[in-house]
Chain A
Amino acid sequence: MTAMEKLQVKDGVDQETVDAVRSVGERYKYGFETEIEMEYAPKGLNEDIVRLISEKNGEPDWMTEWRLGAYRRWTQMQEPEWAMVHYPKIDFQDQYYYAQPASMAKEKPKSLDEVDPELLATYEKLGIPLKEQMILAGVEGAGDAAAEGRKVAVDAVFDSVSVGTTFKEELAKAGVIFCSISEAVREHPELVKKYLGTVVPVSDNFYATLNSAVFSDGSFVYVPPGVRCPMELSTYFRINAENTGQFERTLIIADKGSYVSYLEGCTAPMRDTNQLHAAVVELVALEDAEIKYSTVQNWYPGDENGKGGIYNFVTKRADCRGDRSKVMWTQVETGSAVTWKYPSCILRGEESQGEFYSIAIANNMQQADTGTKMVHLGKNTRSRIVSKGISAGKAQNTYRGLVSMHPKAKNSRNYTQCDSLLIGDKCGAHTVPYIECKNNSSRVEHEATTSKVDDDQLFYCRQRGMDEEEAVALVVNGFCKDVLQALPMEFAMEAQKLVAISLEGSVG
């Protein structure tokens, strides 16, 4: 499906959901595999592999050393076990840590025209308009003629390698740097040195440390002071190769008074074996800057029996370093066999704000342990958490959230709303809020509900003519509405479809 096709409906976006249920025959439509010659580093992990990755990326010595430091640290660390997820022990020596399309191994393509057409075809299949002429047109205004096309710049990462970034020139005019992180290491070392690892330190946690050692590519964004990024920035991650871990690293810096909205989409082919994904995302917002970070995560979740699927261990953190800075995380998590992910905000600047909107859907044998951390350090800081967890089949869905008010975070506020929806009687929903308040002028509010998709609601919808899956999709999309509204329009529609698709077969 191309991007153009899905942009017609506006008022009744829910109709899209309904169409999606009908039109998508297979369960996971991104489950295809691209036949492309890959070049791998040998399996397993040691200092040589770390050096090799660094060398492949043409990195300077300081970066190689940084990686090696992380690797040595990692060898001393234990895999965490506190999350409510269960999976067989991962053999970290049985993974490939670097894979890249062979066509890119010898000489990096200079423009998108030189990229292997197979690769571009893959992205096209995914509905990603990588080629510049395929501008992801904006959604037309309500009833009006199509507004001026809204542009989205895309950085596409295939297995370990960034295959191309669009709209670079136009962004450069505004002074925005948007490129792959390996390019940033080479071209903008001063920025990378200054910010990399300052939000998620090398030693932060097992997976983040692993990522620091072996990350192969990812996206880098720098928005200079006072600049409102002229378009949405977007990265698509695709795991293709078998037994390959994908370790991407994203670093976004919004300098004083700037604004950027960033979208992230993920897919992977269907495989019987589990694939590992351990990403690190660091956001830095300086004074009066604002970052919106939206994710639609649709990694392959495994089949009905829990065979295959992505293990998704991700560390995402934002540092609201400047006063009055603002970060908004929005995530729609429908995929992965196991999800371990807590996009967080460190509210360091005075009057800084953090928001977290999440939809986590777990069907069949999926396990999701996800939530957020809001760490209030500065005065008059605000945070808001809206989490919607949906469990179906035999899935387990846990919300885990920390709200921490430090002594100096006077007059700060948090509001948390956590709603769980159960479909069927074999799934589970768990809410684990941690609240720490170390001053007496701050206020923390937490509301939680758990409900079931009601047979009466389904019967009512069906009596009006909808089939059972349409009815479930409608009810669930209603449940998620607060969060869907927080997404950029293109993503909101994609997310609604995903909600429908990921719940197929969950009733009856």
Chain B
Amino acid sequence: MLEIKNLNVSLEEEEKQILKGVDLTVEAGKVHAIMGPNGSGKSTLSYVLAGRDGYEVTDGSATLDGTDLLDLEPEERAAEGLFLAFQYPVEIPGVGNMTFLRTAVNAQRKARGEEELNAAEFLKLVRAKAASLKIDADMLKRPVNVGFSGGEKKRNEILQMAMLEPKMCILDETDSGLDVDAMKLVAEGVNALRDEGRAFLVITHYQRLLDHIKPDVVHIMADGRIVKTGGPELALEVEENGYGDILAAVA
């Protein structure tokens, strides 16, 4: 589904290379995790895939089901089915959460040539999805992420994901700032979306999220490269010994 080949990325403003040849293939129906120390380029990878400004791709490619992502605008990538759950969800004052969701859902439907949802259809859908994430009606009415707790923000990201039904979901440190209960809720939301036709890329520092969202494949990223790939046991190894041993072994 997602194929990244020899991806090299620098910052636009300064000549600093962040990604130094990332190769990664995520198959449909699978959950891949990327772990790595701070500054290894994990978040950059997610931003570059989503099309954020400020990065320059100097080499390599990234495709989603054969479509070249790097040529597309962020909204076109979204319509292709790429979703990024933000590490720091952005606040939009004055814009109701529901309005935001509906605008987003219908923008994507329109871009794909599908019929837009009317108010009633949308309301029914959002209420059902929100209930499963324990998001109450009040949270749907409040402005997007404004005054939300850390847990609410992350649940809101998962709600957006559930509404948009993307093919390829990237979760960027979705566990940061969450207590155990909130993490469980978020993980349940993600697990409920696991599906043969959908793939996940879970970026995290810690093993604990992976106790709840069981990955098929675990990658270790360091200094802009994927340095080691293995099964779920690799995450446990990191948990026990830190990154030091692994990095020393591949160096």
Which A residues contact B (CB, under 8 angstroms)? 9-15, 18, 143, 454-457, 459-468, 470, 474-475, 477-482
Contact = CB atoms under 8 A, between A and B. Distances in A.
- Specify the main secondary structure of chain A where it touches its partner: helix
Max chain B CB contacts within 10 Å: which of A14, A454, A460, A479? A460
A185 B98 CA distance: 51
A455 B83 CA distance: 18
A18 B86 contact: no
A478 B164 contact: no
B170 to A, nearest CB: 10
21 contacts: A13-B99, A14-B95, A143-B119, A455-B53, A457-B90, A457-B91, A457-B92, A461-B92, A462-B78, A463-B50, A463-B74, A464-B100, A464-B107, A464-B108, A464-B164, A465-B108, A466-B103, A466-B104, A475-B95, A477-B94, A478-B143
A11 B92 contact: no
Given A465-B78, A465-B79, A478 B103 contact: no
B111 interface: yes
Nearest to A462: B74
Interface string B74-107: 1101110001101001111111101110111111
Q: Which 3 A-B pairs have the closest CB atoms?
A: A478-B94, A478-B95, A481-B94
A460 B86 contact: yes
Contacts of A14: 95-96, 99, 102-103
Contacts of A462: 51, 73-75, 78
Contacts of A465: 75, 78-79, 104-105, 107-108, 111, 164
Interface of B: 50-53, 73-75, 77-79, 83-84, 86, 89-96, 98-100, 102-108, 111, 119-120, 122-123, 143, 160, 164
A14 B102 CA distance: 9
Given A464-B78, A465-B111, A481-B94, 12 more contacts: A15-B103, A457-B90, A459-B90, A460-B90, A462-B74, A463-B77, A464-B107, A465-B78, A465-B105, A465-B108, A474-B99, A475-B92
A11 B100 CA distance: 12
Contacts, number: 105
A250 to B, nearest CB: 31
A460 B94 contact: no
Contacts of A480: 94
A482 B104 CA distance: 23
Contacts of B108: 464-465
A455 B90 CA distance: 10
Contacts of A461: 92, 100, 104
B124 to A, nearest CB: 12
Contacts of A481: 94-95
Nearest to B99: A14
Contact of B89 (A9, A454, A460, A470): A460
A130 to B, nearest CB: 30
A466 B74 CA distance: 9
B92 A466 contact: no
Contacts of B103: 12, 14-15, 18, 466, 470, 474
B92 A478 contact: yes
B160 A464 contact: yes
A10 B123 CA distance: 12
B164 A12 contact: no
B213 to A, nearest CB: 21
A9 B94 contact: no
